[in-house]
Structures are given as C-alpha cells and as structure tokens.
Amino acid sequence: MKKVIVNILIVLAIVVACDIVAGFVGDSILMSTPQVGMLQTDAHQALFKKKADVLILGSSRARHTYQPKMITDSTGLTAYNAGIDGHGMNYALIVMQSFLERCKPQVVLLDACAAMVTSEWLDNSIDDVKHFYGLNAPLTNYVSEYGSWQLQAKLHSNLYRLNSTPVWMAKARALPVHDCDGYVSQHGNLADTAIVNFTNFETNEIQVKCFEQIIETCEKNNIKLMVYIAPSLEVTAKFQRWMKVFAQRHHVTLYDYGCDPFFFNNRNRYFNDSDHLNDLGARIMTNIFICDAKTLLK
Amino acid sequence: MLINSIGFWIFFAVVILVYYMIRNCRWQNAWLAIASLVFYGYVSIRLLAFFIVIIGLFYVLAIGIEKKLTQSATIARWLKVAGVGAGVGVLIYFKYLNFFIAEFTALLTGMGFAVNTGTLNIIAPLGISYFTFKLISYIVDVANEKIQAEHDVVKFTAFVAFFPTLMSGPIDRATTFLPQLGQLRKLLPGNISDGSLRILWGFFMKACIADRIAPYTDAVFNNISHHNATSIALASVLYLIQMYTDFAGYSHMAIGVGRLLGLTVTENFKQPLFAVNGGDFWRRWHMSLSFWLRDYIYIPMGGSRCSSLRSYFNVMVTFIACGAWHGASWTYIIFGAHHGLWVIVSRIMKVPRERLESRHGLLKHSTWFKSLRIVINFVVCCVGAMYFRANSMAHIVVAWKKWLSSDWGMPYLEATVPLFTFGLLSILIMIYKEHRDEYGGKALFMHSSHRTMRLVCIAATIVFIVLTGALESNSFIYVQF
C-alpha cells in the first residue's frame, strides 16, 4: 500500500509540475499571439489591446453589421467592433470593463439579441476566453462572482485553462498578421426565406445583471450607451417587448430595427442569411447608426 | 450525476471512504445499497419508489420460484413467466408504449380511419433497459437452477442498484456478481492501480476521442440533407468510433470504479474494431448485452442446433431484439436487422472462405487477408452506425440516395481543427494500444514494467487529457437507453 501511495504522489507531483510549466509557457505564447482575424485573436485584441472612441459590443449580428471604418470616416471617432459569434451580455460586460482599463470610449453601441440575455450563451461566452482567467481582471472577477464552484476549482489548473488552445495558437502563428477592426463582411444574398417567429424567450438572471452592470458602468463613466436591435428574419417578439420595458426602466435609448420593414421588404438584397445582414445591408445599418449617434452627440 | 462529473467523484470519495471503514461484508453491502439508492434518488427522486418496488417484486418472485421448484414445477414455471413478463412489461410500458400508439394511429390513419389519439406522458426510469435485463436474467437463472435465490434483500439491492453500472451497464449477471458480495472487500494495492488506470483510460476515450468527434457527427447527421455523400460517409466512420469510445469509455470507468470497490464488473468490449466478421464483432462489442441476448433469446429459440434456415431466423430475431432494446424507433430496428443480416452473411461466407484458405494455404496466415476482412467488417459496421445515429427513417433514405448518386465531393470540414489534430492523434494512440492488446506484445507505457516509465506515462496521459480533451461533455450516448 505504501508503494501505491508513493506512486500516486509521484504522478501528482509530475502533473503539478507540468501544470506550472504549461502556465508559464502558455501565458507567454498566448499574450504574444498576433492579430490574424480569428475569433480567438479578436477576443485577445478586445480584452487586452484595442482602444477606441466608439466601442461596438454584441454577438455575430454586431460583428457582421457595424463597420468601424465607416464610423471613423464619417464622425472622426475611432471605432472597434468587439462583437463575437455566440457570446452573451456577460462577455460584452467583460470586454467593456477591459476597455475601461485602457481607455474611456465616448459611445458604446450594444447590439442585443434574444440569445444574449437568455442562458443559451451563458457558458459559451466564458469557455471561449477561459484561457485568459488570471490574466484579465474583469474576466477573473466575473468568474469569482458568477462562476460555479466547479468552474472556479477547475480554473485553478493552468492545463484546464489552456485546454484546446495549442491548436488555435499554432494556427494563428501560421496565418499572416492583419490588423482588423473587428468587422467581418458577408457577401451572400439570401434566397427567398420566410420570417421565422420564435415564441420561447426566458431571460437569464446573470445575463440581465450583466446588462444592468453595462448600463451602470456607462452612466458612472459618462459614456453614451446606444442599445440596438439589428434587423433579423428570426423574430422573437417577446424579446423585443422585454427590451422595450427594460430600456424604459433603465432610461436607456433603444433603437429597435429588429422588424424594420425596409430590411424585411428587401430581404433578398440585404440579408446574407436569416439572422445576418450582408455587406450591403451592413453599410445601410452602419449609416443609420452614424445618423443616430450624431444626433445623440449633438 | 454523470460518471465524468466532479459531483460523481465527490460522491464516490465519500462512498469509498465509509465503505473501507466498515469491517463487515453485510454492512458494506448495506452501505453500497444505500449509496446506490441515494444515487438513483438524486437523479430522479420520483422514480426511486418505483425502482424499490421493482427490486422488491423480483426479490420475492425469485424466492417464490426457488420454493416452488421442489414442490410444483408448473407453478415455478408460471412464476418465471410472470417474472419475465413483468420485466418485459415494464420495458414495453416505459419505452415502447408511445411508439406503438403512434405507429398504430399512423396505420389506422393510413387506412382511412379518422383517429385522434394522443401519446402518454411517460418518463422512463433511469437505466431501465439495464436493470430489467439484470432482473430477467436473475429470475431465469433461479428458475433454471443455475443459482440460488438471494435471501438477503440488502445484498440483492446492492447487486441490482450497483451505482457505477446503473446508468449505462455493463449488465452484470447474478451468477458472477452476487458471490462477490458475500465476501469482505479490502482495499488492495492491485485494485487501486488497476481501477485507476481503467478510469483514466475511460476518461481518455471519452474526452479525447468521443467528445472531439461529437460536434462533427452532430453537424452532419442533424442536417443530413445539406451534406454530400462524402461528409455522410466520413460522419458514419467517425460515428462508429464515437459510439465505441463513448460507450467503452463509460464501461472502463464503471469497471474501474467497481475495481476500486473491490468488485469485478463484467467486461463490455474487447477490441471490436479488430473484428473480422459479424459474429466476431458481436463477441467483442457490448458483450454484456450480446451475451445476454445469446443466452436468454438466441439459445432458448434453438440457437444454431437446428436447420440453417431456422438458425438464421433465430439470429435475425435476436438482432432485431438487440436493435429494439436501444429504443422505440425504426432506425434501431434497422440497425439490429442490418447486423443480423451481416452475421448471417458472415456465416454463409464461412464455408467458401475456409475452402479458399485451404486451397491457398498462405491466405490463412496472411496479414493482408485478415486486414481485408477487418476493413470489410469495419465498413459494414459504419453503415450500421449510420442507421443507429440517423434521426429518422427519412434520413436513412437521404443518406443512401446520396451514396448511390454522384453527390461525392469535398467533405464538410468546418470547425474540425480540434477533431483532425488532437482527435486524430488520440484515435491513433487508441488504435495502437488496442493493437497491442489484441495481438499481444510487451506491455508498454501505462502498463510498462519499468516503474519510472509507467508513472511518467500515467502523468503524461493526465496532462494530455486535461490539455487536449473536450472536457465540457453533457452526456454519454448509452445513458439514454
């Protein structure tokens, strides 16, 4: 029995040593990963590097809709699109808090969709950036406040935190460096598609709290918050009603283009797929935002 | 509470700590029974009472059969029929009733009758397919006087509800398991190392292979009409590997947990990817189920000791039952029939193959010929895996239409980087290990006789799993059955 215990201790010691080494090596590679336009490198840029006067937050709908270059050309304000596919309000909050550590944006454009305030993307949002735990203060604070005890326990391991990162880190180093503003254009044209109505909608407490924290932080830092609902053929009327009430309660300006007839009537022209605008649609939507922002900033 | 969750391992730590503090085998059984019922109740408190009633019913029935065996064989036979009927009845009610209602309604509607029957709101108890088969085999073995009825209700409960195998098997037999509960279990070094290595290997199979493959097979099979024939073929190959590593991974973990508790759980897999024909495959794949079906369906029907035609009929019935055991869906029936047919074809081919081998003596020992047979069997099993995974009969038709058309081209490869890097590496590691297990050779890596080598390999495996495995798994495929 003594031999078995000694063996177990030796194995544990080797694993712990590997964990420590992996932490050092992994972090240094992680923090020096170049910007190549991959989802993971975009998250790295948003959490650690970028500065902008106009910060765009949201999910894939934000990522494929708002064009920072157009905003800069038209307003003279620098802009960065930090929207990432399948990420909720919790991720938006972490990005905004990370930005505030480096600079203070004048305007925050938050593009909201139903999945961002439900539990659908609650875990994804953190899983995709968990390797930055301990390196990024807002993320670390979020996990301590909202993460389950299992997640907190597991994140003490560097190996767990860095799980699956070697592949994308290697891929990122193989791709050419290109400094992008976060916007990803899509050039498809939707074939005839009907509007789909979703009836299920139930908010998640943590996501709503994060949304409220975004509003509070903007208020405290005197940042103009503009909440948008971008056009989509996947309509959740319950969400739109909820947003209206929520925005009124928190005195936030809501720009709801979710069911905008202009986009709906020309859906074959402006949509890439049922939930995302194509580049042409994105240009129009960005122009709408620019007009709204100019009015607000006056 | 899945076997690969933190919750399970905290629960298990408490169980094993108390288990080995007890110095009496009856109390160890009592603790095991309590832990198993708590485990069951944690997952579904509403169905715990039902589970206890079922255990009680079969306990009483077996004692009744044993008593009547000496007094009246007819009554004993009727009690056996009642026991088997109760087991099958429970399965039919919970798993198949809604299927029968829906199919019957569809049939009547198809015949032009206006029928409007709803389905029943039935929740199947956890592990129902596993514990009913355990109980049926127990009743039949008692009636056939293979074993004596268990009079210790606590020991019987510990056997039926044994928590590591409760959700997904292996389906233990009373003949091998109950005698083990009659002895005091001590914490032995051999059990600790063997059990831990089995658990570790199970985790490797589940996290590094099965869960790495799952996103790809889900993407293809859930949108089958949007994918070309190449993608469906690739997904079918991968799904066979996923099924194997998911289920064998669970079985390894369950066997390992049993070993840590000082109990030997039935083996469930024996390198099935190296099988050379249908019969060989089922002697290696889900062995606890296939041997159960052989002993309680195939052999009682006459097995192979009858005419060839009758024997093929027996095979077909057994395999259709095997398919139906998985669930109430035509896709599972097709899966069973496909494998039944393959076993029959393998039998028919046996004579010409042996004739060929005797004519060309070298063929018998040819690695190439054996490899060819392994590849053919693998391809047939991949088609079976497609039937198993298909969401409906319509999807099976779509898959075959695509395979028979000219819709071959580049496969779908989006978001497959982790699968074709870490996943592929893990599959190669597994095949290498299985090859060594199958064809012998010096024990290497985690089983090396060199201590330092062994410990470093164990640590490296842990590091590899945590760094590269898909760790956020939701479930095991076979838990749903």
Of B6, B455, B470, the CB nearest to A10: B455
> What is the rounded distance in angstroms from the CA atom of residue A23 to the CA atom of residue B463?
12
Q: Using CA coordinates, name the residue in chain A closest to B9.
A: A150
Q: Using CA coordinates, name the residue in chain A closest to B455.
A: A11
The answer, yes or no, to whether residue B362 has pLDDT greater than 70, is no
The answer, yes or no, to whether residue B121 has pLDDT greater than 80, is no
Q: Is some CB atom of chain B closer than 8 A to the CB atom of A160?
A: yes
The answer, yes or no, to whether residue B77 has pLDDT greater than 70, is yes
Residues of A with Cβ-Cβ distance to B215 under 8 angstroms: none
Is A4 in Cβ contact with B459 (below 8 Å)? no
CA distance B467 to chain A (A): 4
The answer, yes or no, to whether residue B327 has pLDDT greater than 90, is no
> What is the rounded distance in angstroms from the CA atom of residue B481 to the CA atom of residue B479?
5
CA distance A101 to chain B (A): 30
Report which of B244, B149, B146 is spatially closest to residue B202, judged by C-alpha positions: B244
Q: Read off the pTM.
A: 0.88
Comparing B276 with B115, which gets the higher pLDDT?
B276
Which of A3, A5, A15 should we substitute to test contact with B (largest number of B Cβ atoms within 10 Å)?
Answer: A15
Q: Is some CB atom of chain A closer than 8 A to the CB atom of B186?
A: no
Structure confidence by residue, pLDDT tens digits, B138-150? 999 999 999 999 9
Is A168 in Cβ contact with B466 (below 8 Å)? no
Report pLDDT for B415: 64
Report pLDDT for B442: 67
User: Is A225 in contact with A292 (CB distance < 8 Å)?
Assistant: no
Is B467 in Cβ contact with A167 (below 8 Å)? no
ipTM above 0.90, yes or no: no
Using only C-alpha atoms, what is the Rg of chain B? Answer: 24
Number of residues assigned to chain B: 481
Residue ranges of A 10-29 with Cβ closer than 8 A to chain B: 10-11, 14-15, 18-19, 22
Is B467 in Cβ contact with A166 (below 8 Å)? yes
CA distance B418 to chain A (A): 7
Residues of A with Cβ-Cβ distance to B20 under 8 angstroms: none
Average pLDDT over residues B332-347: 96
Q: Is some CB atom of chain A closer than 8 A to the CB atom of B52?
A: no
> What is the rounded distance in angstroms from the CA atom of residue B269 to the CA atom of residue B433?
14
> What is the rounded distance in angstroms from the CA atom of residue A278 to the CA atom of residue A181?
17
Structure confidence by residue, pLDDT tens digits, A192-246? 777 888 888 999 999 999 999 999 999 999 999 999 999 999 888 999 999 999 9
How deeply is B95 buried, as exposed, middle or buried, from its count of CB atoms within 10 A (0-12, 13-18, 19+)?
Answer: buried
Helices (H), B287-423: 287-293, 308-326, 330-359, 361-364, 367-389, 393-404, 417-418
**End-to-end C-alpha distance for chain A, whole angstroms:** 78
Q: Which residue bears the tokens 């391809």?
A: B379
Report pLDDT for A65: 95
Q: Is some CB atom of chain A closer than 8 A to the CB atom of B195?
A: no
Report how many Cβ contacts below 8 Å link chain A to chain B: 56
Q: Is some CB atom of chain A closer than 8 A to the CB atom of B404?
A: no
Of B187, B417, B466, the CB nearest to A160: B466
Q: Is some CB atom of chain A closer than 8 A to the CB atom of B13?
A: no
CA distance A160 to chain B (A): 6
Neighbouring C-alpha atoms within 13 Å toward the C-beta of B394: 4
How much is the mean pLDDT over chain A?
92
Structure confidence by residue, pLDDT tens digits, A47-70? 999 999 999 999 999 999 999 999
Q: From the candidates B252, B286, B326, B338, which is the catalytic residue?
A: B326
Report which of B339, B309, B313 is spatially closest to residue B324, judged by C-alpha positions: B339
Percentage with pLDDT > 90 across chain A: 72
How deeply is A37 buried, as exposed, middle or buried, from its count of CB atoms within 10 A (0-12, 13-18, 19+)?
Answer: middle
Average pLDDT over residues B316-345: 95
Residues of B with Cβ-Cβ distance to A22 under 8 angstroms: 463, 467
Is B455 in Cβ contact with A164 (below 8 Å)? no
Q: Is some CB atom of chain A closer than 8 A to the CB atom of B192?
A: yes
Q: Is some CB atom of chain B closer than 8 A to the CB atom of A242?
A: no
Q: Is some CB atom of chain B closer than 8 A to the CB atom of A7?
A: yes
Of B192, B422, B467, the CB nearest to A22: B467
> What is the rounded distance in angstroms from the CA atom of residue B222 to the CA atom of residue B228?
13
DSSP state of B147: S
The answer, yes or no, to whether residue B363 has pLDDT greater than 70, is no
User: Is A293 in contact with A226 (CB distance < 8 Å)?
Assistant: yes
How deeply is B78 buried, as exposed, middle or buried, from its count of CB atoms within 10 A (0-12, 13-18, 19+)?
Answer: middle
Is B418 in Cβ contact with A159 (below 8 Å)? no
Structure confidence by residue, pLDDT tens digits, B18-33? 999 999 999 999 999 9
Domain segments of chain A as ranges: 39-122+177-297
Q: Is some CB atom of chain A closer than 8 A to the CB atom of B467?
A: yes
Is B421 in Cβ contact with A167 (below 8 Å)? yes
Q: Is some CB atom of chain A closer than 8 A to the CB atom of B6?
A: yes
CA distance A1 to chain B (A): 5
Can you tell me whether residue A227 is helix, strand or coil?
Answer: strand
Of A14, A163, A171, the CB nearest to B459: A14
Q: Using CA coordinates, name the residue in chain A closest to B463.
A: A15
Residues of A with Cβ-Cβ distance to B418 under 8 angstroms: 164, 167
B339: annotated active-site residue: no
Average pLDDT over residues B391-405: 94
How much is the mean pLDDT over chain B?
90
CA distance B10 to chain A (A): 11
Residues of B with Cβ-Cβ distance to A127 under 8 angstroms: 472
Residues of A with Cβ-Cβ distance to B458 under 8 angstroms: 11
Helices (H), B204-329: 211-221, 229-260, 278-282, 287-293, 308-326
Q: Is some CB atom of chain B closer than 8 A to the CB atom of A175?
A: no
User: Is A81 in contact with A289 (CB distance < 8 Å)?
Assistant: no
Per-residue pLDDT band at B439 (split at 50, 70, 90): confident
Query: Picking from B29-33, B73-77, B202-206, B290-294, which range would have the lowest pLDDT averaged per residue?
Result: B73-77
Structure confidence by residue, pLDDT tens digits, A153-188? 999 999 999 998 988 888 888 888 887 889 999 998
Per-residue pLDDT band at A257 (split at 50, 70, 90): very high
| Position B280, amino acid | D
Domain segments of chain B as ranges: 6-186, 190-210+247-268+411-481, 270-409
How deeply is B18 buried, as exposed, middle or buried, from its count of CB atoms within 10 A (0-12, 13-18, 19+)?
Answer: middle
Helix axes A205-220, A89-102, angle to 10 degrees: 30
DSSP lists the bridge partners of residue A226 as A109, A253
Residues B253, B256, B257, B261: what is their CA dihedral angle, to the nearest 10 degrees?
Answer: 170
* B305: Cβ contacts below 8 Å, ≥ 6 apart: none
Q: What tokens does B219 get?
A: 């993407």
Q: Is some CB atom of chain A closer than 8 A to the CB atom of B318?
A: no
DSSP lists the bridge partners of residue A235 as A197
Fold topology of A39-122+177-297: Rossmann fold (3.40.50)
Is B192 in Cβ contact with A159 (below 8 Å)? no
Percentage with pLDDT > 70 across chain B: 96
Q: Is some CB atom of chain A closer than 8 A to the CB atom of B356?
A: no
| β A79-81/A54-57 pair status | parallel
